[in-house]
Amino acid sequence: MNNPQIMIIKKGEEFAGDKKSSHSLLTNIEKRIVAAGVPHIPSWIETYHLTLTTILWSALIILFSWLARSDIRWLWGVSVMIACQYITDLFDGAVGRYRNTGLVRWGYFMDHFLDYVFLSSILIGYAMLFPQKYALSLFFTLMMFAGVMVLAYLRFAATNEMKIHYLSIGPTEVRIIFIIINALIIILGKTYMVKALPFVLIFSFLGLTIVVYRTHLKLWQRDMKEKVIRDEWNRLNKK
């Protein structure tokens, strides 16, 4: 007896690391931008070039943050680097699929590892700017963001679905938030912004808690559903 659902459970599913599940506030706009832009990217720019440029953007973020210690206007440079990383990250996977480069697993590994490097560079930059007494708050902020990234990878391992947007917030929206924070620091000064760190931590913790709970519930229900299917399969085979 061939049961398609049982076959999926036994054989596994095709690697889906390059197929991101996107349901953020800006997803539809991004899809239109990618569809219109990918055919016009020069052929000498490869998908791996776009992925690896995150190393450059991250290094420049740290440099500009260091320079901002003496002139806060250098934070505009940090915001430009965040925008550049957004553009290359938006198109790297799309270019690979459009040209059928085949770098699926490599792209999954490097893209997400460098996302962590990029996020760390931003928080390292803030650590350079803010007084030492706020270092612990920045460390816990990094823990919250890293927790979301770990959650995404664990969820992918359990479901073979790469979801990077939670509560309608994804990497694009987070980048916009960082750019807004930089603008506020330049305009209002560092003193006012460091006072907001506890609120950032509280909302980050609450958001992560909600997402973990929803994910745990979904996986529990999926496990129970598959258990029913397996039990029925075993019962039928014993007859």
Sequential DSSP letters for 135-181: HHHHHHHHHHHHHHHHHHHHHHHHHS-EE--BTTB-HHHHHHHHHHH
Q: Supply the mean pLDDT for the chain.
A: 84
The Cα 81–Cα 119 span in angstroms is 12
Overall average pLDDT of the 222-238 stretch: 85
CATH of the domain at 202: 1.20.120.1760
The Cα 197–Cα 124 span in angstroms is 15
Give me the number of domains the chain comprises.
Answer: 1
Per the DSSP assignment, residues forming a β-bridge with 166 are 169
pLDDT-based confidence at residue 65 (cuts at 50, 70, 90): very high
Tokens of 33: 């931008």
Q: Determine the residue type at 49.
A: H
Domain ranges, residue 154: 4-238
Lowest mean pLDDT among 53-57, 70-74, 200-204: 200-204
Tokens of 170: 């994804």
Crossing angle of helices 104-129/75-99, nearest 10°? 180
Torsion, CA 153, CA 158, CA 160, CA 163, rounded to 10: -50
Overall average pLDDT of the 125-137 stretch: 83
The Cα 97–Cα 47 span in angstroms is 9
The Cα 36–Cα 51 span in angstroms is 20
- 98 vs 170 pLDDT, higher one: 98
What is this structure's pTM? 0.80
Overall average pLDDT of the 199-222 stretch: 88
The Cα 27–Cα 95 span in angstroms is 17
Q: Note the pLDDT tens digit of each residue in 137-165.
A: 888 888 888 888 888 888 888 888 877 77
Nearest to 37 by CA among 83, 107, 79, 98: 98
Per the DSSP assignment, residues forming a β-bridge with 162 are 20
**Rounded to 5 degrees, what are φ and ψ at 23?**
-145, 45
3-class secondary-structure state, position 21: strand
Nearest to 117 by CA among 141, 90, 149, 73: 149
Lowest mean pLDDT among 53-57, 115-119, 233-237: 233-237
Q: Where are the alpha helices (DSSP H) in the chain?
A: 4-11, 27-37, 47-67, 75-99, 104-129, 135-159, 171-188, 190-194, 197-238
The Cα 11–Cα 157 span in angstroms is 15
pLDDT at 26: 76
